[in-house]
Amino acid sequence: MPQDSSTHARMLQLLGKISDAVVDDSDIDQVLSGTVHLVQSMLGVSRCSIMMLNEESKTLGMIAAAGIPRRQWPKISVPLGEGYSGKAAADGKPLLVRDTKILKNHEDSRVAKYRSNSFMCVPLKLKSRVIGVINVNDKKDGAPFDKDDLRTIVTLSSFIAMALGNAQMLLQSEMVKRNLRSMSDSIYSGLMTVEPDGRLRFINYYGSQLIGSAPESLHGKMLSEILHPRDADQFLSLLHATVRSRAPQSRRFEFTSPANGRDIPLGVTASIVYRDNGEVNSVVFIIEDRSLHREVKKLREMDEAKNNFIAMISHELRTPLTSIKGAGYMLDTSLSEGLNDAQHSMVRLIMQNTERLIKEVNNLLDATYIENDTMMLIARKHNMDEFLRAILPKFERIAQNKKIQLEYINEAPDLVANIDPDKFSKVVENILDNALKFTKMNGKVWLRVDRDRNDCVISVEDTGSGIPKESQPKIFEKFQQAEHTMTREFGGSGLGLFISKALMDCHGGELELARSDETGTVFRIVLPIAMGPDTTE
């Protein structure tokens, strides 16, 4: 069907509108909507739609349509290669179906009321890459589409593709700009772009803080307008030196804040941003506040000194503790025959308190390793049942003394895990110790072992009074014990859970508080199960 002159004029008008969208950044939605409606009225068709290809999900989604209500658009999604639109997009070739009735295996549209008798699907291509499809369905007068109609839509399609590509690019470059801006604002250094004549093009938040004004109020100003003259000279001479040598330059100088007159030691590095033709576009300054460096350096040194001191003290304490422990042991055993009851109980007292001191010293040392990230394990495969049975007797004695029932239930006695026996026993002992400590006389403590998929789960449950709700989130922090009154009553520095959790992290496992209320507390120690034979000695 030949096109009449008014159709031709409208076609030109349409192309003009679309090319406008290509060259300027008018709203792409409006352009697409205008396009489909103009196609609809120009060709006298019942429906015209544009679908965009989502590269990730490989589906076409509707982004503009005339003759299909907007609320239907989200429901219309066509996988690449399926249906006529999907095929046109997958093959990158236009499709013209004059009459669906003569097609043998015609696939009806999914939405019954959008069935067509005659239609066209034309891929939208940008540099031979398909970015979407334009669909045109059913002339209102019932005539089938012909080659001329297809040609018109193919011509249109390249313009629409360009407009879409342009809009996408614009969106991306806007996003890149925005991302760069928020990134530059989040760094703890000044970042400033200056044109060769000394005009400030961009400054990030931290840089503007040094000057003492909002970034927006500084953009476009000359450096000599916004800085102390001496400082402006420093920056400009650094800029010129950088441009002259065409290599990055650094300088340190005392900077006077224009806002409050305070002197700040700065370290400034300048480097050039070139244009495509090799000319200097601008110079980027990275500005460091060196007073902060000094501060941070001092704090780091202090922290290191503290940690070294703790490590040194711990070692120094361990040597005399070795003699005390050894002497106490012998008084308590082989040499105890000559002691009366009172003397014997005094020896016991020395022994118990020596143990307590040793434990605290060890905790302090472990906490230091954890803080310095220097905790190391010597892990080997161990059968968990054997391992726990070896630990248990000590706690059975404590339980007996407190008249607490301690029950060990192992549902999976064959489980083997990679553990550092010394470190892992600290975790188990610490949790059991707490359970017994916070459970009253005639209470009960359960030590259970279970398999949960590829994990060995050791849970310790008690019938104690529970950890107060408000303290629960903080129990794994350093120097925390639920209540200060508890600390006084039961002793302990509050390092136990902090260390235990860190040790479980080192084991690739977890330590968690599963439940704690007035009926009791459950801690779960989770360890990955090791495959293969157990090498326990």
Residues of this chain that bind another protein (CB under 8 A):
314-315, 318-327, 329-330, 334, 354, 358, 362, 365, 369, 374, 376-378, 420, 422
User: Is the Cβ of residue 21 or residue 361 nearer to another protein in the bound state?
Assistant: 361
What's the closest the beta carbon of residue 315 comes to another protein, in angstroms? 5
What's the closest the beta carbon of residue 174 comes to another protein, in angstroms? 52
User: Is the Cβ of residue 248 or residue 320 nearer to another protein in the bound state?
Assistant: 320
Element of type H or E holding 294 = helix 290-332
| Strand residue runs (E) in 322-476 | 380-383, 405-410, 416-419, 444-452, 455-462
User: Is the Cβ of residue 377 or residue 398 nearer to another protein in the bound state?
Assistant: 377
Q: How far is 120 from 96, CA to CA, in rounded Å?
A: 5
Angular region, 407: left φ>0, alpha ψ -120 to 50, beta rest: beta
Q: How far is 368 from 370, CA to CA, in rounded Å?
A: 5
The answer for residues whose C-beta is within 8 angstroms of residue 79's C-beta and 6 or more apart is: 58, 59, 60, 86
AA letter at 206: Y
**CA angle at 65 for the pair 64 and 68, rounded to the nearest 5°:** 135
User: Is the Cβ of residue 369 or residue 476 nearer to another protein in the bound state?
Assistant: 369
CA 143 to chain centre: 58
Contact 384, 417 (CB under 8 A): yes
What's the closest the beta carbon of residue 223 comes to another protein, in angstroms? 53
Give the Å distances, CA to CA, from 191 to 174, 210, 234. Answer: 20, 11, 16
What's the closest the beta carbon of residue 477 comes to another protein, in angstroms? 24
Residue 48: strand pairing partners: 66, 136
CA 106 to chain centre: 49
What's the closest the beta carbon of residue 366 comes to another protein, in angstroms? 9
User: Is the Cβ of residue 280 or residue 358 nearer to another protein in the bound state?
Assistant: 358
Give the Å distances, CA to CA, from 471 to 69, 95, 298, 480, 516. Answer: 56, 68, 34, 9, 11
User: Is the Cβ of residue 420 or residue 462 nearer to another protein in the bound state?
Assistant: 420
What's the closest the beta carbon of residue 375 comes to another protein, in angstroms? 8
What's the closest the beta carbon of residue 536 comes to another protein, in angstroms? 14
Q: How far is 527 from 420, CA to CA, in rounded Å?
A: 12
User: Is the Cβ of residue 143 or residue 321 nearer to another protein in the bound state?
Assistant: 321
Q: How far is 127 from 331, CA to CA, in rounded Å?
A: 92
What's the closest the beta carbon of residue 329 comes to another protein, in angstroms? 5
Structural Rg of the chain based on CA atoms:
39
Q: How far is 304 from 359, CA to CA, in rounded Å?
A: 23
Angular region, 200: left φ>0, alpha ψ -120 to 50, beta rest: beta
What's the closest the beta carbon of residue 349 comes to another protein, in angstroms? 17
User: Is the Cβ of residue 5 or residue 334 nearer to another protein in the bound state?
Assistant: 334
What's the closest the beta carbon of residue 393 comes to another protein, in angstroms? 14
What's the closest the beta carbon of residue 322 comes to another protein, in angstroms? 4
User: Is the Cβ of residue 34 or residue 509 nearer to another protein in the bound state?
Assistant: 509
Nearest to 136 by CA among 151, 155, 125, 150: 150
User: Is the Cβ of residue 280 or residue 377 nearer to another protein in the bound state?
Assistant: 377
Contact 446, 460 (CB under 8 A): yes
User: Is the Cβ of residue 323 or residue 454 nearer to another protein in the bound state?
Assistant: 323
